[in-house]
A and B are shown apart, each in its own frame.
Chain A
Amino acid sequence: MQVAEQRDAVAGAAAAPTARKGGPEAAEAEAYGIPRRRGRAGRRQQSIAYVYLLPALAIYTLFLLVPLGHSAWISLYRWDGLSPGTWVGLHNYADAFTDPQLRASFVHSLVLIVFYAIIPVGIGLLLAGVIVRAPRLRFLSAFRVVLFLPQVVASVVVATTWSMIMAPEGVLNDVLSAVGLGSLTNDWLGDFSTALPAVGLIGTWTEIGLCLVLFLAGIGQIPRELYEAARLDGAGPVAEFFAVTLPGLRRQVVIALALTVTAALRNFDVIFVTTRGGPGTATTVPAFQVYHQAFEANAVGSASAIGITLLVIIGVLVAAINRLDVRDS
């Protein structure tokens, strides 16, 4: 229950920046802090607006806020899920930060952010900067479909495929041996030092497509004249990228970061399928700990505390990422 609910919460948080795209003006006004209309008429209009919000709010409350509140409540107890729980206050939260294993799982997810968010956004920007130089893009929509495919394929399928590729006798090692790099072959997902980066690279592969598709859409909206002006002023490819492409893509970068950082932090499926948190505890992440604590270790209180902590961390990070957008405009 905890995992599903947390995912919903995460989806909500991730949806926020996307929603902005729909109403650029409103977002602009909001971004610049333009005050809304006050006064009697305005207030009445506002209260009517809340009536229209009621059905959505009711569903949101029933399926999200109530379970969330319930988890927050459970997180204050030591509870095995069956017999009556014991009040422990914030002890479960203290554990999440002091227990070396739980703390390590949060550190692992920070490492995953590099692979899930920073590298894909970087590579996406680089590729977008190159593609924009191409004189004419044929088959662009076909490229988009191909690039987006990893997002469409079920994550369990992605993880299973990659664990076969990275297996000791998998394709990756076969290819390395075939090109004379046999000394580099490794048990990628089973080696303590490579397991976490290996899992991370699966994320990189999945997220690059998303970033690039977002960026290509964004580039389409940058006025061609800006590029012409830049070229007239004698800007080379690098200067052009930093002067035109990057600023023009700011909003897309923010969206891409918010989505990919969230994906990195709530990673459960890929870990569960590829490593189950192993070898040892080298790839445990908070979402995996939630599952483990709730369903295997009978520690529902601790699971809830980790879930809530994860939710807060994601909320803070996404809010911080959104502020990037505001400040620079």
Chain B
Amino acid sequence: MVRWNTAQRCAAMVCAAGAALVGAGCSPGGDAASPTSRSETRTVVTDASKLGQVTITEWDKNTFAGPNQAMKEINARFEQKYPNIKVKRLARAFEDLKTTLKLALSSGTPPDVVQVNQGYGDLVAFTKAALVRPLDPWAEAYGWERRYPATLLAQNRVGDDGTWGTGKLYGVSSTAELVGVYYNKSVLAKAGLQPPTSYPELVEQLAKLKASGVQPIEFGASTKSPTIHLFGTILTSLAGPKLVNDLVFGRDGASWKDPKAVQALTTLGDWAKQGYINKDANGKTEAQAGADFQKGKAAFYVSGSWWGGTFKSSDDVGFVALAPSSGAAPAALGGLGLLWAVTSKSPHPDAAAAYIDYLNGPEAADIIAKSGDLPANQGGAFKSPADSLQGELGSNIAKVLDAGTMAPYLDYATPDFYDVITAQLQQVIAGRTSASQAADALQKEVDSFKSTK
């Protein structure tokens, strides 16, 4: 009986403490700076050598061997170019960076330059709390807007009302990503097929491969994100990049119940039912599926340029971004790598901007390309051999950027969309929900986000 009294006492203490805080009119995060509307009136200095002795700290997510090496080289070259600026680096794995960045940014002494994930979860939340700085004056001074297609740079923009995809520019990205179809040359050759170049060709080949007893697509959906890559590829091919952009950026009029979107969902379910994708897809991880594809278990693997580094070790693997119809320019899911932003509390915005400018310049682009990554800046001199996997990735992204046919990752639509859409797609693959039910669920999530914004 005494136990209960103790429990009651504890509960009472907790309530009292909570009530005291509520009574005092506090609210969590209440002492954060007021939302952005601060206008930048300072003069921008673009000659970094005139900034005096400065040390800037940068946080990035480039912990993999290739990107890590590239990052080190870029920093060393930048310091060489501007001996008055020192760069202190802290690299963290993406997931760690995502969670620690929030705490670091709201602390009194955040790093100067940080890599931020686009979308509502991170970038928009940071701009709402005024933790990162709008960089428009520097973008104008350095001409960043001329380096990238406007549709792509939109991913780094946030409006003062918290709308993502339009408004002030908060940074630029040094790398780019592209989702497309990896194919196994010898598996295709054995089936008497040429690598597809368009979506209708792919669909035709899927049926032929299945009929001849070859697994058409290897797919690992248990990691969740691959569902977005496969479905996004179907959706972009069937509905076109414009609709995908409108859906993700929540532009008026676009709805997930659009017949094209429903058709794409139906197609995904059909591919699973027909066995075009492996039966155990929902229990396989992205890594397992990729390894199985590389071993020649299937003809195709739909994923992003980040697999290039792994697949380049086998001569059999090629890459293509599909054209929606034969003869058209390829259209594909993809985007910029994380954007490089300057924190609001950084005392050295000019040095930080100079560093970001260098990171996105042609010299850095060459270093990035040589490391096996795809630079966002296409102005570099270095080109991989055209027939190598790296060369195919590079030429495909150049074509997509040129044609302005890149579609953003679908999970950016709302903070919770990643979970909602991957859960729905897993259910569509398992045949547990119909295409129209899934479309309803997706649109409901978008509507409820819009109503709370």
Contact = CB atoms under 8 A, between A and B. Distances in A.
A281 B129 contact: no
Contacts of A281: 419, 423
A178 interface: no
A65 B13 contact: yes
Interface in B1-50: 1-4, 7, 10, 13-15, 17-18, 21-22, 26-30, 32, 35
Given A281-B423, A295-B99, A296-B418, A84 B29 contact: yes
Contact of A85 (B29, B128, B288): B29
B1 A83 contact: no
Contacts of A276: 222, 224
Contacts of A189: 222, 283
Contacts of A73: 17-18, 21-22, 26, 28
A292 B419 contact: yes
B416 interface: yes
A275 B419 CA distance: 13
Given A168-B284, A190-B280, A190-B284, A82 B106 contact: yes
Contacts of B280: 168-169, 187, 190
Contact of B18 (A30, A72, A188, A279): A72
A280 B18 contact: no
B398 to A, nearest CB: 33
B126 interface: yes
A297 B4 contact: no
B442 interface: no
A151 interface: no
Given A82-B102, A82-B126, A300-B28, A65 B17 contact: yes
B283 A168 contact: yes
A107 to B, nearest CB: 16
Contacts of B62: none
B99 A82 contact: no
A210 to B, nearest CB: 23
B1 A187 contact: no
B119 to A, nearest CB: 11
B283 A188 contact: yes
A182 B26 CA distance: 62
B427 interface: yes
B430 interface: yes
Interface in A72-115: 72-74, 76-77, 79-87
Contacts of A76: 18, 22
Contacts of B26: 73
B14 A82 contact: no
Contacts of B126: 82
Interface residues of A, number: 49
A155 interface: no
Contacts of A322: 3
B282 interface: yes
Interface string B263-302: 0000000000000000111111000100000000000000
Contact of B29 (A30, A68, A81, A192): A81
Nearest to B431: A192
B224 A68 contact: no
A192 B432 contact: yes
A83 B129 contact: yes
A292 B224 CA distance: 14
B406 interface: no
Interface of A: 16, 30, 33, 65-66, 68-70, 72-74, 76-77, 79-87, 167-169, 187-192, 275-281, 292, 295-301, 315, 319, 322
Given A82-B126, A278-B426, 10 more contacts: A80-B128, A81-B102, A82-B131, A85-B30, A167-B283, A190-B222, A190-B283, A192-B432, A279-B426, A280-B423
Interface of B: 1-4, 7, 10, 13-15, 17-18, 21-22, 26-30, 32, 35, 98-99, 102, 105-106, 121, 125-126, 128-129, 131, 221-222, 224, 279-284, 288, 415-416, 418-419, 422-424, 426-427, 430, 432
30 contacts: A66-B17, A69-B13, A69-B14, A69-B21, A70-B17, A72-B14, A73-B17, A73-B22, A77-B28, A79-B27, A82-B106, A82-B125, A82-B131, A83-B32, A83-B35, A85-B28, A167-B288, A187-B283, A191-B283, A192-B282, A192-B430, A275-B222, A277-B419, A279-B221, A279-B222, A279-B282, A280-B432, A296-B121, A296-B415, A319-B4
